[in-house]
Structures are given as C-alpha cells and as structure tokens.
Amino acid sequence: MILVVGATGQVGTAVVRKLVADGRPARAFVRRTSNYQHLQGLGVELAFGDLRDPASLDAACQGAEAVIATANAIVPQGPSSFAAVEGKGYQDLIAACQKHSVQQFIFLSVPVTPHDSAVPSFRYKRLNEERLQASGLNCTILRASLFMDCWFAFIGSTIPARGAEAPTIERQYWFLELFMKGVGNLIPGAGAALIPGNAQVRHAFIAADDVASALVNAIGHPAAARAILEIGGPEVLSWQQVAGIYGQALGRKVRTVYAPGSVFRVMRAAMSPFSEAASDIMGLNWLVSYSTPYAGRKTAAALGVRLTSADAFIRSKVGLAAGS
C-alpha cells in the first residue's frame, strides 16, 4: 500500500493516478473538507484526516509500504499555518512512519537558494529534509525545479491550467485568486510577461506531471534509496526564452516586463504581519529571481522519466480550449 499525503493537490492527484495506472494499491490521505471527489471511483482507498491531527496520521500509516508526501501550506485551504502543517504536521507524519516501519518516505522538496530561511515554505522544506535524514527512515528527497504549471502561469497566463486536474493556480485562496485575476491575461491579452528578476535568470522548468512520475518511479528504486535527488526539465531556460516560446505558440510577440527581485522581497516583508501565506507567495517570487539552473536529465534517466520540454508543454496547453 502506498500512502499519498497531499493527494488532492495537482502533483498528488497525478501521483495517485499513476499509481492506479501501474496497478499499485494506493491510499489517499484527504481532509473531509477538501475537494477529493475526483479521486473517488479510481479504486483508491480514502484515508480521512489532517496533518494537524496526529491520530489520523497514525491510522493512515498503518500497513503502508511507502509514503509519498507532497502536502504543503503554500496555498492554504481554510485556517492553517506553516508551523502547524509543515512543522508539527510533518514531524508527526515522520513519527507515524517510524512507528509503523514504513519502508520508504518519498518527500517532494524544493531547490536550495541563498535565502531559504527567509521564506516559510523553503525554510520548512529544509527542516523536514533534516528531520528525515535523522529519522533512520529510508528517505528519498526529490528537489524539483520550478513547475511549468505554476510559473508559466504566474508570469501572465491561465493557459497552463488547461486540461489539468486540480491545478494549483485555481485553488481557492483569496490572495492567489487576486494575483491571477491581475496577471492571468497579460500574455494572451496584452502580449506581456511579468518576470521576477531579470533576463539573465535561468531555471530548469519542469512539468508537474513529470515530477509525479519521478515520485512514483522512486518507489523501491535503488537510485532513490537514502538519496537527495535534484530534478528539472530537459532545458535550462531564461525567462526571455520562455516568453519567446509563448510567442511562437500563440503566433504573436510577447515582450517581457521585469520586476526586480527586491520588489518582491519588500512586499514579502510588508505582508508578513497580515498574512503568512501571502507573504510566502511574494517570497517565492523573490527566490525565483535567483537561478536554479540544474538540469534534470541525470535523475530523470535514472528513474525512467521522459521529460517534457517547455515548448511541448506550452503548445499542448495552447491547443486545448479555454476551460477544458
């Protein structure tokens, strides 16, 4: 039995579907108040609970061979905090895995940046990496580069959400909804991409579906045993190149408008007293103004993942009808 924690998110949903396609028994850890209806009818077991409820974590881990954890507090659904979800919640999840002798804990993490400690989502990822390495569990830490599904949207388009199941950019969180309302039509409507940082910043953008494949393929894989693996897309691209790919797919010129990383750093600090999650989102925009250029071919090849290029990703989304 494979337990998926974060099963209603975009990556978690893709993980569940891949487990089902592979014929692996899957257990989806879901909150009763979350949108889990799309998981019903797949032949997966639903384990109701919450990372803030240790008893439910203990019950969910019983009989689990492996745990794939993608849950985070970046886009909160209801009242929560990083300390409660990614702090105490993951601490209790790790303890439950130890208690029930889970054979492998596969954790979705993020790239290392110079300012991890200043942004809650990155700070807690580092903390949980340390906890896992000290736990004695056979842990696999997958540090994934920037998701095309999110960052190709945040710069000015809702196109990346087309055809996606449980897309992150459509989650019901007031600040995300406000942000996407402001930028969601910039690229197709105004021919402009709003870029955090400058033209020299480069990232190995990766499709969320490819990350899900890597997480599933890591189960029992020798290359993933007690390992920290970095994975990105097949190319390391500048934001300018991404805008160019959008332009080619849409048949129009897309210009880039750069917002200095320092702007997002200031906004992060200004929002911190009022909304931890909104401050974190601004902090993420600040962190991605630093390059994360590692390519993912080595890890992808080891885990048998065929990576999706940015051009193929964007063209496939443009080819779908809006609202699909």
Q: What is the pLDDT of residues 98-157, one digit of tens each?
A: 999 999 999 999 999 889 999 999 999 999 999 999 999 999 999 999 999 999 999 999
CATH superfamily of 2-318: NAD(P)-binding Rossmann-like Domain (3.40.50.720)
45: which strand partners?
Answer: 27
pLDDT value of residue 88: 97
Please tell me which residue, 304 or 295, carries the higher pLDDT value.
304
Confidence band, pLDDT 50/70/90 cuts, at residue 11: very high
Q: What mean pLDDT comes out for the span 248-265?
A: 93
* 243-264 average pLDDT score: 94
Among the residue ranges 33-42, 57-66, 219-228, 310-319, the one predicted with the least confidence is 33-42
Residue 289: which pLDDT band, with cuts at 50, 70 and 90? Answer: confident
Give the pLDDT of residue 180: 93
Segment 88-106 mean pLDDT: 98
Query: For the segment 144-174, what is each residue's pLDDT rounded down to a tens digit?
Result: 999 999 999 999 999 999 999 999 999 888 8
Looking at the predicted structure, is the pLDDT value of residue 183 above 70? yes
* Cα(171)–Cα(116) distance, integer angstroms: 24
pLDDT of residue 97: 98
Rounded mean pLDDT, 41-50: 93
| Mean pLDDT of the 239-244 span | 95
Residue pair 60/44 in contact by the 8 Å Cβ criterion: no
Note the pLDDT of residue 199: 73
Mean pLDDT on 221-236: 96
Question: What does the angle CA 166 – CA 300 – CA 63 come to, to the nearest 5 degrees?
Answer: 60
Contacts of 271 (CB under 8 A, 6+ apart): 278, 279, 282
Determine the residue type at 278: A
Q: Across all residues in the chain, what is the average pLDDT?
A: 93
Q: Tens of pLDDT along 48-72?
A: 999 999 999 999 999 999 999 999 9
Pairing assessment for the beta strands 202-203 and 237-238 based on DSSP bridges: antiparallel
Q: What percent of the chain has pLDDT over 70?
A: 98
Flag whether pLDDT at 79 surpasses 70: no
Q: What percent of the chain has pLDDT over 90?
A: 80
Cβ proximity of 87 and 73 under 8 Å: no
CA 124 – CA 83 distance, rounded (Å): 8
Element containing residue 283 per DSSP (H, E): helix 276-287
Return the pLDDT at 99.
98
